[in-house]
Amino acid sequence: MVDRACPLGVCDGSGWVLGPEDVARECECRAPRLSRGRNRGVASVIPPRYRGVSFDRPPVSDMARDPATRVAVGEVHSFIDELDERLADGRGLWLFGDTGTGKTTLAMLVSKAALEAGRSVAIYSLPKLLARIRRTYDSEPGGDSYLAFFERLTSVDLLHIDDLGAEKRSDWVLEQLYALINERYEAQRSVLVTTNLPQDKLEDQIGARTVSRLSQICTGVPLFGADRRYDQAA
């Protein structure tokens, strides 16, 4: 009887299939399971507020009809339609615009689609990500080290950083962001970011080298319009 631990129902759960002459070959379930194991310890859960996001439901369906945001919705839809190709090429999205225009909602749509496709995703707001990195400095022996956490951040299929530029500028912040983005840039791994800052101000906040790399691996998606949170509260 095949062990249900194999999601494909092929192997006995070990990740190996015994073939002719007792020669073992890897089951197709092995690589994604190893990837998930390596990436344990990164935040990959869609926040409760965004778990129901869909192109067919407000606010995204409303944004698709709004002249100020429908182009951005179309860009995100195209990215999801071509998800495998975009991730394989290390392409990402850079959503920028004023507060409340729907950047985080659209970004969560992408991360949700990637997770549903079985891809590994790390999702952090910038302040929480930096706080998580700082905690690795205080880890006990045998705990989650900085290098181990950094490796997981750089190896996931999609790194989603919300509120880029929201942290107080310091040499340490600049160093962490550059190291992270540069590693993913060189490895051709996708990055998804949202920010309230235009490019010139983002360069002032996180450094021109980091922004330059983001501009090369991400498609810029501007969002315009009023703060939708006020509309939803009315």
Which pLDDT score, from 0 to 100, does residue 234 have? 44
Which pLDDT score, from 0 to 100, does residue 21 have? 53
Predicted confidence (pLDDT) per residue in 127-153, tens digit: 999 999 998 887 666 567 889 889 989
What CATH architecture does domain 43-233 belong to?
3-Layer(aba) Sandwich (3.40)
Of residues 95 and 14, more confidence is placed in 95
Mean pLDDT of the chain: 85
Q: How far apart are CA 213 and CA 30, in angstroms?
A: 33
Predicted structure pTM score: 0.79
What would you measure as the largest C-alpha separation in the chain, in angstroms?
70
Which of 104, 87, 95 minimizes the C-alpha distance to 47? 104
Residues 6+ apart with CB under 8 A from 40: 152
159-171 average pLDDT score: 93
Of residues 168 and 230, more confidence is placed in 168
CB 121 within 8 A of CB 111: yes
Which pLDDT score, from 0 to 100, does residue 91 have? 97
The domain spans of the chain are 1-38, 43-233
Residues 6+ apart with CB under 8 A from 198: 96
